[in-house]
Amino acid sequence: MLRKTSQDALQFIRDETKGKKRIVFVSGFFNIVHPGHLRVLRFAAECGDYLVIGVHADLYGNALIDEKTRLEGVHAITLVDYCFILEDTPQDFVKALKPDIVVKGKEHEKDFNPEAEVVKEYGGQMLFSSGDMSFSLAELLQDESQRLVSGSFARNEAYMARHQFNWSDLDKILKQFQKLKVLVIGETIVDEYITCDAMGMSQEDPTIVVTPVGVELYLGGAGIVSAHASNLGAEVSFFSISGKDEMASFINEKLFSYGVNTHIFQDESRPTILKQRYRTSGKTLLRVNHLRQHPISQELQKKIQESLLDMIPDQDLIIFSDFNYGCLPQPLVNRIVARCRQENVMMVADSQSSSQIGDVSRFKHTILMTPTEREARLALKDFESGLVVLAEKLRTKSKADNVFITLNEEGLLIHANGSIKTPFFTDRIDAMNKAPVDPAGAGDSLLTCSAMALASGADIWQSAYLGSVAAACQVGRNGNIPLSTKDMYLGTQL
């Protein structure tokens, strides 16, 4: 016999639907409602007319947050028609309710599902899906406007309370940045922003016509990562490659002005990477990339290796900032990783694949990697798993301690290495800037600040928060501009 909470839920659902609506049922703990959950729920809602969610009660023993808080989180999702604390087993409630459809995450499809036999008996359907990759988080959550504080920033006080830290803790971490020695290696990119006036549509062919009115050059790629770290207070050494051209001179001048110790090796077989963005009204119309992306020669690898490996024992942090344009061939990466492990030096990695193919998992034994969802899926060749399963697969394959999956306007999914009792734990942070001006550089600032926080003694949750603040600051302005301590104080005190 069903417990009282389930009986009450059963009666309410029957009264609401009166047998005229297709009922869809989903159950789970919902410790932290993250975008992976929301995608499954959106899929479930589209399968029927009335979405019912059973939130497992605390008595099941695997809950990380109390059942009342978890229920409130699910109740805040606009897609959900009715939710309740499920004290019975899902199969017992399904047997009583007889929903038209029962939905579970794609990762459960090959497991034993006790609900399956019950659903089959009464002629219902059981579906498995991780939902669709593209949707707006703001469409799914209620009262999102209440999260706005001033300007375009939003608070994350609930996250801070959940992980038991405050502004004073973050202040201590930021002050530790000045004691760090950081080594960054990866491709340097020059970002050229060409501001245009839109003239309209050509009368001769369907082409947009623009007139350039201004040009700005910015340091990008791994170069801006080193600039961020230096501007935030660290002593920074930077290893990269460039062509033998005018843009190489621009890079050296910029890095010198930011106080970065540069070790840039010229490769005459390629130009310095230049990415031109034609923009109007704050939007990018077209991007043109000037580059070659073959691996650097063995001779150049040897030169970098000879200079870099001897510096590793004196570093607090190594940042791999890879853009898959040939600066970091696997043999060179393997030698650096081996030396870092030998000297017990912390490593973090990002491998960007916005318009190319890459594999972030090739950077082994890092304390943190920060791919986008697409980059994580490319690394694993997995385009079906839910986000948490995806993160754990990537963590396992790369032998990393922690994984941040960046989700653009959906924020950040944090997948942390846990204890024996909790093998891993997942949480998320909403995007902290609700009105971004220019998304370029968000990932670089997140990587830099989160990594420096970890190297300064922060835990993974504090690190994720500071990284999110850094990204929010960065997307609030045009072009890649090095973060400052002042920026971080502004963001953390909102």
What's the rounded Cα separation, in Å, for the pair 24 and 126?
Answer: 10
212 and 87 housed in the same domain: no
pLDDT tens digits, 162-185: 999 998 999 999 999 999 999 999
25: three-class secondary structure by DSSP? strand
- Cβ-contact 372, 364 below 8 angstroms: no
130 and 222 housed in the same domain: no
Where a domain ends, among 88, 111, 142? 142
323 and 199 housed in the same domain: yes
180 and 196 housed in the same domain: yes
Could you tell me which residue, 148 or 22, shows the higher pLDDT?
22
Where a domain ends, among 111, 142, 173? 142
50 and 174 housed in the same domain: no
What's the rounded Cα separation, in Å, for the pair 209 and 295?
Answer: 37
What's the rounded Cα separation, in Å, for the pair 378 and 354?
Answer: 11
Residue 493: what pLDDT?
A: 60
- Strand runs labelled E in 203-299: 208-221, 235-242, 261-266, 273-280, 283-290
Hunting for tokens 């703990």 — which residue is that? 29
Residue 136: what pLDDT?
A: 39
Give the domain CATH number at 59: 3.40.50.620
333 and 407 housed in the same domain: yes
Non-local (6+) Cβ contacts of 43 within 8 A are 103, 129, 130, 131, 132
Lowest mean pLDDT among 148-157, 323-332, 338-347: 148-157
Lowest mean pLDDT among 7-21, 119-133, 229-243, 418-432: 418-432
315 and 210 housed in the same domain: yes
Average the pLDDT over 82-100 and give the result.
Answer: 95
What's the rounded Cα separation, in Å, for the pair 124 and 99?
Answer: 7
The total domain count for the chain is: 2
Lowest mean pLDDT among 75-79, 302-306, 398-402: 75-79
Average the pLDDT over 222-246 and give the result.
Answer: 96
pLDDT at 204 over 90: no
Q: Which domain holds residue 221?
A: 147-492
By residue count, the chain amounts to: 494
Non-local (6+) Cβ contacts of 365 within 8 A are 337, 340, 341, 347, 398, 399, 400
Average the pLDDT over 381-407 and give the result.
Answer: 95
Could you tell me which residue, 148 or 110, shows the higher pLDDT?
110
pLDDT at 137 over 70: no
Non-local (6+) Cβ contacts of 257 within 8 A are none
Give the domain CATH number at 456: 3.40.1190.20
Average the pLDDT over 427-455 and give the result.
Answer: 91
Residue 273: what pLDDT?
A: 95
Q: Among 385, 353, 386, which residue's Cα sits nearest to residue 369?
A: 353
Helix axes 460-474, 485-492, angle to 10 degrees: 110
Residue 422: what pLDDT?
A: 52
Where a domain ends, among 119, 142, 165? 142
109 and 174 housed in the same domain: no
Q: Note the pTM of the prediction, 2 decimals.
A: 0.80
155 and 76 housed in the same domain: no
Lowest mean pLDDT among 107-116, 237-246, 416-425: 416-425
125 and 246 housed in the same domain: no
406 and 421 housed in the same domain: yes
What's the rounded Cα separation, in Å, for the pair 97 and 250?
Answer: 68
Q: How far apart are the first and last CA of the chain?
A: 51
